[in-house]
Amino acid sequence: MFIFFLQLRDTLHGGRLYVFSILVAMTWALWAIKVHLSRRYQPWVGDYPTTSSVIIPVVDEPVGLFHEVLDHITEQAPHQVIVVINGPRNEKLEKVCDNYPGVEWIWTTTPGKRNAIREGLEVCTGEIAVLVDSDTIWTTDTLRELVKPFADPIVGGVTTNQRIIDPDRNVLTRWADWLENVRVQYSMPAMSVLGQVGCLPGRTIAFRRTVLADAMPAFLGQRFLGIFLEVSDDRTLTNLCLKQGFHAVYQSTSRVYTDAPVGMRKMAKQQMRWSRGSQYNTLRMLPWMMRNTPTLALFYVADILTPFLWLATVTGLIVRVLLGENINFYEGITFGYGAAVGTVIIVTLTLLATWLSAYIRQARHFEDHPHDLWLLPAFTLLNTFMLMPIRMWGFMRMARNDGWGTRANAFSGDTHTKRTVNPLGSIPYVLGACLVFAGVAYHG
């Protein structure tokens, strides 16, 4: 924020507009919109009598963890629990399912979550179909709270308040929980107020069974940029729910816990999968969103542009220095107080402004976890040097149907697409290159 105000002063006096100023202004404007909308959010109350079928696609899970998953689900007595084991046969998981009299299990040799959902839906008899990841732990009353919004006939899909199991294991799990909490404190309630949660995260996600049935043809075969993308099943189902004219909402009182990678390599692969799927679906849905849900379009377009604006900020600074056009915004401070004292003042003001900015924009999270303020430098480094490059690279590679990346024996990618040239696959690279070159050319 400190450099933003210095650049803003220069813009007002000299007329030059800086990319970093645009980025900061956009960030704060989006934050203000989300805060304004999220203040209107209220979870649904009042029990809704219905029947729920729980569908759990699974490839491979530790037996102990899968027992715990089924324990928490079955104790809430859903109408039906269906486990769909996909890929290589897994007798250990079959035996786990056999320990629960009310649990049905299916084995399909076809790997992939989408086909597993289809298999489960074919035997689903409940009014509400609840899709659950095989490593997700429910809390007390997760199901009862989750179905409450369906009392409104316009609601077609509902998702939960999702957090990380044992987040204090290391800095990555703490960071993952931080990202989840910021999302459920700001973005999710803001979009829910509009009935337009853009992605109902699939750890636990509920749909009217009729919505899923109508969505299946497109869900299993819809192509974009020349490919069918297996990943991002939750975002795709949310898109199809919204396009059917239903609302997609968030129920904060229904909480679940999920695991997060503890290693950098696996965390990067997970973020890459999410990045590719999210941006792929944003471009696929963009014409519809601009006509029907413009606020949602704004959120997701900004999500794509932010990493490229960060890159443009860096490249712009480098180009200005090389061309001798860079402005020393700190000259007045170092001249007035001397180099040593001025540098201390600059560093102090920069750190204070950064901490204050982060606290204001994420105050709800820091109220829950005040110690995370001390981890803010680590979080900032992860966001800047891990998440930003991954999102840009994910944008470039979104027209490739790569595999799951973080789970053995899961869907391994479309081998046909890998062996042949997809002419449309170059479009994201061209668009990304144009954004990069525009930033270099402007070098503001």
How far is 42 from 335, CA to CA, in rounded Å?
53
How far is 14 from 8, CA to CA, in rounded Å?
10
Question: Model confidence over 410-430: pLDDT tens digits?
Answer: 555 554 444 556 788 889 999
Tokens of 281: 């679906």
Q: Give residue 410's pLDDT.
A: 54
Tokens of 76: 């809430």
CA 120 to chain centre: 25
Domain 46-299, what fold?
Spore Coat Polysaccharide Biosynthesis Protein SpsA; Chain A (3.90.550)
How far is 35 from 187, CA to CA, in rounded Å?
9
How far is 408 from 321, CA to CA, in rounded Å?
48
Q: Is 319 exposed, middle or buried (0-12, 13-18, 19+ CB in 10 A)?
A: middle
How far is 7 from 146, CA to CA, in rounded Å?
47
Q: Which residues pair with 250 in a beta bridge?
A: 159
- Residue length, the chain? 444
Q: Give residue 415's pLDDT.
A: 44
List the one residue out of 206, 78, 71, 60 whose CA is nearest residue 132. 206
Residue pair 103/81 in contact (Cβ under 8 Å)? The answer is: yes
Q: Give residue 411's pLDDT.
A: 53
Q: Give residue 416's pLDDT.
A: 44
CA angle 228-412-390, nearest 5°?
75
pTM for the full model? 0.89
Q: Give residue 26's pLDDT.
A: 94
Domain ranges in the chain are 46-299
| Mean pLDDT by groups of 10 residues along the chain of 444 residues | 78 83 93 97 96 96 94 96 94 95 94 94 97 96 98 98 94 94 96 96 96 96 87 94 98 96 93 92 95 96 94 87 78 76 82 85 91 87 92 90 58 51 84 88 78
